[in-house]
Structure 1
């Protein structure tokens, strides 16, 4: 069972996926040995660790850790001469994930899933105190600390310029790492405000005005009622004008 793994230089995702799938291909043999489940975990951890080294060498800036779970102890897999490892549709090797193993050449066809947890540890901004919904974040509200970027699906706000001056979308607790879904731009105008509306396309630009139907900040979409009663939707630019394409 002591077989080497040759990893080609490739993208971080390919390196990690390749190593995880490579150790999975050995699962069938491990199932036939004494204490096969434990063997599977040891093999999986070894190859996952090798993949992590390749990913970190590729310059991701994150320190990756991989934890390989176990197959359901109630499973009794039939002998299989050829096992095909695969990534289930929509699977991403980030956070809690899984890989599939299916028997292609055996007396009984089977298909099982092996859980995998990928942690991506790196610097991020963490709240020092609790924050209420609607509060505008200031530089002193967060400090840099190492967190698991893969713990949640929403991307980390790693750049201070991306969150200072933003508004909390919900109550946040001290110790939480700032992520994109926790924040929104501070409003540049309130509902009912008269705003400039710029309609462009096909080489022309028409400027008008109208009443904003909701508060909105830079980059957000807002509906505006023009002075003639027509309703339009557009994106707020840095100056507070509504750009309609």
Structure 2
């Protein structure tokens, strides 16, 4: 009988060792850790809900965590947030924290890549050029990387005039152009008649179109008289008496 117990005890010890090995195996340990994919998804969803380029073709991708990270599994859903004073840009650092069952916070970069059609100069454009179809073409570009913005259509703001020379192949940004038409024909305007330091304002209607600083004819609504003045803003025409 004694001889039978020793093999049984040995078998029990072997079984106990096997169970201990299973409990501490990488697979078992991994089940107690927060998955990296869940953290990245939380960060990506957070940015997607606030994406300034959501109306464009875009892609959002969170960066990887440090390979040495071992974060205990969160008992509830992890929460993403923006660090203090941070703004959502092309590349944004997003925090993800656990507040239930464990307490940890990690930070990871989230990149937004957005594409849209932008106007590109097909030839050198000197200052003063009024942009037309033969001057530009529409090209798909990564607009999220354009810090100065872009223009998508010649029909915006009544057209554009080049305010500084533009090189061939350059994406045309708003700071390179000015509105070609500041006041349109038939538009209601404010007529400012000035004589020295004295000025009088009247209501008028533009009988032609013009850009900032150009001469334009306007009709005085009260008198019916048509006079000529200079465009000072999108609604003001100044007449020097």
* TM-score (ref. length: structure 2): 0.48
* TM-score (ref. length: structure 1): 0.47
